Amino acid sequence: MSLIITSPLRGWATTLDSVPDPVFAQRMMGDGVAIEPLGDTIVAPFDGEVVTLHDAGHAISLRSAEGAEVLIHIGLDTVMLKGEGFTPLVAIGQTVARGDPLIRFDLDAVALAAPSLITPVIVTNAEAFAISRRSTDCAIGACEALMTLVPVQANVRRSSDDGIVIEQTVKLALPHGIHARPAARICEAARGFQAELHLLNGDKRGAARSTVALLALGTRFGDEVVVQARGDDAEAALAAIAALLATDMGETAPAAPSAAAPPRTTLQAGQIGGVIASPGLAMGPAARLRQAEIAVASEGVGAAEERAALLAARDTVRAHIAARADSDDASIAAVMQAHLALIDDPELIAGAGARIAAGRSAGFAWRGAIHDQIDAIRATGNAHLIERIDDLVDIERQLLSALTGTPLETAAIAAGAIIVANDLLPSQLVALAAANPAGVCLTRGGPTSHVAILCAGMGLPALVAMGDALAAIEDDTPLLLDAELGHVTLRPSPADAAAFAARLAKRAARRDAAQAAAQEACRTADGTRIEICANLGSAADAQFAAAQGAEGSGLVRSEFLFLDRETAPWEDEQHAAYQAIADALPGKPVIIRLLDIGGDKPAAYIPIAEEENPALGQRGIRVALARPDLLETQLRAILRVDPVGACKIMIPMVASIDELRQVRTLVDRLRSDMAIADAVEVGVMVETPAAAMTADLLALEADFLSIGTNDLTQYVLAMDRGNPAVAAGVDAMHPAVLRMIGETCRRATARGRWVGVCGGLASDPAALPILIGLGVTELSAVPGFVAEAKQIVRGLTLSEARAHAELALQCKSAAEVRALSRAFEETRR
């Protein structure tokens, strides 16, 4: 059973790393979160008992009924103030309820007298509880969810052979399993002990001091991993590693904005499309990066010489990486730490050593050892781990470069150039970044690779997976990189280049203003409240979205949990995922779309008979109703989210009111089985013309309606959204689609139900004034667009939006609507 720790005061939540005191920053007292206070009252973070209250009134600890112990330490060195400025409101032994005031303090006086007001909130009994989720880098109010604790299972079992092996099972809370960064942390922790330590995942077993062995375990979120220890300090080592594994290791914070569902775009001649790895706009000449193979002799000159050469090369590379690991940029530092662990990885060293002993050269041996591990990782089939192969290739190249004296080709990029490469290794990007490139275009790569993470951290626009078409780009080709719409334009006309430059400048100014006001609620200039939410695929997305000012989520694509795997996720796994998303957006509405499988989203374990027209066949709620086992499991997982009602339920692909009724009946039965008295909202997606035209009837029984413009467009225009032959015509700004949206709003709002848009049109700046004018009051956009969407809405009055929408409905084509929108924007500059 997890325990939610709510924030004991209002402020800015940050990681303990930001606390300028090693006692807290190095977790000597335990793990937790720090808060830069904006409020002056500490309140109870859960129902419990006051265990300690320092005489100086600056620190208090509480114990929950479950046994979790939490210390709240107001400011640093505040013990010196001897109680000056602190007013305790409770006594030791007192029972308190969540939100009860505990200590009041004089914010100004303490701020003047103490070196820092930063307030660590620490879980002090780490042997019993681990943090599975935490809110950091966000504004937080008192009583909003700060951390989720999970008990560390104490199922220690002893057996004995030549020594005592003790083991413990831990359920992994890492959202992407043990990948490079967590592996590096585990290795580092393991190195602090003498004991022999291993991790087991099913029938795979790996040494805890080897990051590659840990990667090859192929773990995923929720796996039950067994930790085994043997040796002098086995108990302490086991406790430390098990406690670490039960945490999220800070991984719920987003490394890169989600690339899910970028706004749909139609490619013109001279454009190449790609997947957005890091959003933004850039213009500049292409700078091609060509990567030569580093040749190495296969035979060595003698084992002793080769060993010495390998050792020396590892020393060189280690020193080089260590210098970069000092970076102020947290994402660079984290990636470099992972690389440091790889250069000293015992499996790699053993693999290379064995080859050297067999007469191979150091370079050949190192390359062989790396490729053994790459093969093992590929065999796991885990997409996240496979993206980490780049890190191994990176270490291979760096070491071979040091061994052979071959320079790595990263020097010759001019400032402002757009890097064009087949692929880019993290170390190459870090080296190239010093030259101030404007953007990155890659033939290969994935949106969650380390290169994508680094680009996002550096604010460098990047497109990946652009395919072989990129090979046509030569050095110095002028490029317009649009990592908002997902394409690059080659050799633009002077007019296109000028328009792009103007867009770049305008967007930069608008982004600055939008970021400054991101956390404020959104209203039109004449005061109409419009909620700006984010479309999410994971808890990491949710945290990123919260930082961007999202007022909730209008669409959680729950199928992210169901796709790319062999079996459906079990209830606990789903519940943990939904809870984590709700925790990341405390007090804000989160709309979970029920499983939307079928059509363009197949899942191997949900067999659907071959269909002539999959888009018109078993899709969305039709599949879910045909598989009540899956649907019930998902509904139960949603209903279990704490607090009840935090998550609303949304039904995809509704074509008739009967589908809504069937889901509602099921929800009511489950609520009664689960003794849930509070109502839980159930809404429908408007993705079919049938739903749009019966919005008034649906509104009689649905709590809300949200328009999925991606599917609505394909069904209104009878154009497959995934068919490149008709892609040019699939534009949601088509007046027919806009009329459907207007009709939906008119019919549903007359019945008192709100209408939102969660399809791609909500992330299209040109569409926002029209949607508001048509009567939409909630927009759910890609997370990276949230702050900007708020700013656009703030600049509109309802009456001008209505007039503009009215004109749009009279246009004869999508192109005419887009021209009208450009003119509308022009008049407002």
Question: How many residues sit close enough to ligand PEP to count as binding (CB under 6 A)?
Answer: 11
- Which pair of structure tokens corresponds to residue 51? 């265990």
Check residue 756 for interaction with ligand PEP (CB under 6 A): no
Closer by beta carbon to ligand PEP, 132 or else 558: 558
Closer by beta carbon to ligand PEP, 390 or else 531: 531
Q: Residues 259-298: x/- map of binding to ligand PEP (CB under 6 A)?
A: --x-------------------------------------
Tell me the HSE value of 687 on the side-chain side, using a 13 A CA sphere.
Answer: 23
Candidates 297-305, 666-674, 707-715, 783-791: pick the segment binding ligand PEP (CB under 6 A). 707-715
- Which pair of structure tokens corresponds to residue 600? 């363009």
Q: Which residues contact 827 (CB under 8 A, 6 or more apart)?
A: none
Question: Contact with ligand PEP (CB under 6 A): which of 251, 391, 396, 711?
Answer: 711
Choose among Mg ion, ligand PEP, none what residue 778 binds, the Cβ cut-off being 5 to 8 Å by kind.
none
User: What order of strands is seen across the sheet that includes strand 129-134?
Assistant: 3-6, 145-151, 129-134
CB of 711 to Mg ion, least distance (A): 4
CA torsion 812→815→820→824, rounded to 10°? 150
Task: Count CB atoms within 10 A of the CB of residue 73.
Answer: 24
If we measure between CA atoms, which residue out of 339, 390, 399 comes closest to residue 364? 399
Question: How many residues sit close enough to Mg ion to count as binding (CB under 5 A)?
Answer: 3
Choose among ligand PEP, Mg ion, none what residue 536 binds, the Cβ cut-off being 5 to 8 Å by kind.
none
CA 685, CA 773: separation in Å to the nearest integer?
20
CA 176, CA 200: separation in Å to the nearest integer?
17
DSSP, collapsed to helix, strand or coil, labels residue 471 as helix
Candidates 350-358, 398-406, 659-667, 702-710: pick the segment binding ligand PEP (CB under 6 A). 702-710
Check residue 709 for interaction with ligand PEP (CB under 6 A): yes
Tell me the HSE value of 781 on the side-chain side, using a 13 A CA sphere.
Answer: 30
The footprint of ligand PEP on residues 674-693 (CB under 6 A) is 687
CB of 687 to ligand PEP, least distance (A): 5
HEC states along 649-703? EEECCCCCHHHHHHHHHHHHHHHHHCCCCCCCCEEEEECCHHHHHCHHHHHHHCC
Beta-ladder partners of 819 = none
Q: Which residues are catalytic?
A: 450, 758
CB of 767 to ligand PEP, least distance (A): 13
Question: Contact with ligand PEP (CB under 6 A): which of 410, 710, 744, 749?
Answer: 710
CB of 631 to Mg ion, least distance (A): 17
CB of 592 to ligand PEP, least distance (A): 13
Question: Contact with ligand PEP (CB under 6 A): which of 759, 769, 773, 784?
Answer: 759
Choose among ligand PEP, Mg ion, none what residue 466 binds, the Cβ cut-off being 5 to 8 Å by kind.
none
Beta-ladder partners of 682 = 649
Closer by beta carbon to ligand PEP, 199 or else 647: 647
Q: Are 533 and 556 in contact (CB under 8 A)?
A: no
129-134 and 145-151: which strand pairing?
antiparallel
Question: Contact with ligand PEP (CB under 6 A): which of 708, 765, 769, 775?
Answer: 708
The footprint of Mg ion on residues 621-680 (CB under 5 A) is none
CA 561, CA 318: separation in Å to the nearest integer?
38
Choose among Mg ion, ligand PEP, none what residue 50 binds, the Cβ cut-off being 5 to 8 Å by kind.
none
Choose among ligand PEP, Mg ion, none what residue 557 binds, the Cβ cut-off being 5 to 8 Å by kind.
ligand PEP
CB of 789 to ligand PEP, least distance (A): 16
CB of 146 to ligand PEP, least distance (A): 31
Q: Residues 577-616: x/- map of binding to Mg ion (CB under 5 A)?
A: ----------------------------------------
CB of 752 to ligand PEP, least distance (A): 24
Closer by beta carbon to Mg ion, 250 or else 554: 554
Check residue 764 for interaction with ligand PEP (CB under 6 A): no
CB of 708 to ligand PEP, least distance (A): 3
Choose among Mg ion, ligand PEP, none what residue 709 binds, the Cβ cut-off being 5 to 8 Å by kind.
ligand PEP
Beta-ladder partners of 593 = 557, 650
If we measure between CA atoms, which residue out of 348, 311, 339 comes closest to residue 430? 339
Candidates 203-211, 636-644, 708-716, 747-755: pick the segment binding ligand PEP (CB under 6 A). 708-716
Question: Contact with ligand PEP (CB under 6 A): which of 758, 782, 811, 820?
Answer: 758
CA 691, CA 312: separation in Å to the nearest integer?
69
Closer by beta carbon to Mg ion, 45 or else 708: 708
Cα angle 770-772-773, degrees, rounded to a multiple of 5: 60
Q: Burial code of 779-804, b = ≥16 C-beta within 10 A, e = fewer?
A: bbbbbbbbbbbbbbbbebebebbbeb
> Which residue pairs, CB below 8 angstroms and at least 24 apart, start in 599-602?
600/721, 600/722, 601/559, 601/563
Closer by beta carbon to ligand PEP, 251 or else 687: 687
If we measure between CA atoms, which residue out of 796, 767, 805, 824 comes closest to residue 525? 796
Choose among Mg ion, ligand PEP, none what residue 390 binds, the Cβ cut-off being 5 to 8 Å by kind.
none
Q: Are 163 and 527 in contact (CB under 8 A)?
A: no
CB of 641 to ligand PEP, least distance (A): 21
Check residue 760 for interaction with Mg ion (CB under 5 A): no
Check residue 711 for interaction with Mg ion (CB under 5 A): yes
Q: Are 481 and 461 in contact (CB under 8 A)?
A: yes
Check residue 449 for interaction with ligand PEP (CB under 6 A): no
DSSP, collapsed to helix, strand or coil, labels residue 756 as strand
**At 469, which amino acid appears?**
A
CB of 721 to ligand PEP, least distance (A): 8
Closer by beta carbon to ligand PEP, 213 or else 781: 781
Question: Contact with Mg ion (CB under 5 A): which of 45, 280, 549, 708?
Answer: 708
Closer by beta carbon to Mg ion, 248 or else 559: 559
CB of 555 to ligand PEP, least distance (A): 6
Tokens 């060293």, residue located: 349
Candidates 114-122, 564-572, 704-712, 790-798: pick the segment binding ligand PEP (CB under 6 A). 704-712
Q: Are 790 and 772 in contact (CB under 8 A)?
A: no
- Which pair of structure tokens corresponds to residue 570? 């079990």
If we measure between CA atoms, which residue out of 184, 182, 177 comes closest to residue 202? 177
Question: Contact with ligand PEP (CB under 6 A): which of 557, 588, 753, 790?
Answer: 557
Task: Count CB atoms within 10 A of the CB of residue 558.
Answer: 24
Report the interface residues with Mg ion, using CB under 5 A.
687, 708, 711
Report the interface residues with ligand PEP, using CB under 6 A.
261, 555, 557, 596, 687, 708-711, 758-759
